């Protein structure tokens, strides 16, 4: 059953509002034992995600000022859902990076990204993970970038990427 939630006023503030991500952590959805319930506000998770024994979120380092989280409505009015997306750029092409790319193909993930304001956001949930895509380019000239664009994305979510306030199991 769908609950109609009354809208509230959004007030502007004058605080600094930098963009970008500062870190990224990745886990396969199947490696999560407990995905906690969402808080009463419908957008925050304050209880800890519990991975299965021996599993954890792993950090993926990326180039400064290349990370972003996006979410947008998707579908026709009456059947709309939310598309979630996280993008980063990882410089260089190495055997280690390519091995991780091959392991991630066709994976079903939950990812955590911390924005420049300190908010940690979780993409994916207990029912639906985000998929992985990559696009490596060596560059044509010595001054071109050599590296890989990584994208985690999924559609059909009933929520924006959650704000996560508990300790991330790393």
Q: Are strands 131-137 and 147-157 parallel, antiparallel or unpaired?
A: antiparallel
Residue 150 to residue 113: CA distance in whole angstroms: 13
Whether pLDDT at 116 is above 80: yes
- Per domain, the residue ranges of the chain are 27-37+46-164
Q: Render pLDDT for 74-98 as a digit per residue (tens, 0 to 9).
A: 999 999 999 999 999 999 999 999 9
Output the pTM of the full model. 0.92
How many C-beta neighbours within 10 Å does residue 132 have? 20
pLDDT tens digit sequence for 132-170: 999 999 999 999 999 999 999 999 999 999 999 999 999
How far, in Å, CA of 52 to CA of 169, rounded? 11
Beta-carbon count within 10 A of 141 CB: 5
């Amino acid at each position: 059953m769908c609950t109609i939630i009354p809208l509230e006023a959004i007030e502007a503030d004058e605080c600094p509002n930098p963009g970008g991500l500062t870190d990224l952590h990745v886990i396969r959805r199947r490696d999560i034992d407990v995905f906690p319930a969402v808080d009463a506000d419908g957008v925050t998770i304050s209880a800890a995600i519990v991975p299965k024994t021996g599993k954890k979120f792993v950090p993926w380092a990326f180039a400064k000022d290349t990370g972003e989280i996006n979410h947008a409505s998707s579908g026709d009015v009456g059947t709309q859902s939310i598309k979630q997306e996280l993008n980063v750029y990882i410089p260089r092409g190495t055997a280690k990076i390519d091995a991780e790319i091959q392991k991630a193909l066709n994976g079903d993930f939950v990812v955590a990204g911390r924005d420049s304001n300190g908010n940690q956001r979780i993409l994916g949930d207990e029912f639906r993970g985000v998929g992985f895509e990559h696009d490596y380019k060596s560059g044509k000239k010595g001054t071109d970038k050599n590296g890989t664009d990584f994208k985690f994305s999924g559609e059909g979510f009933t929520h924006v990427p959650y704000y996560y306030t508990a300790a991330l199991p790393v």
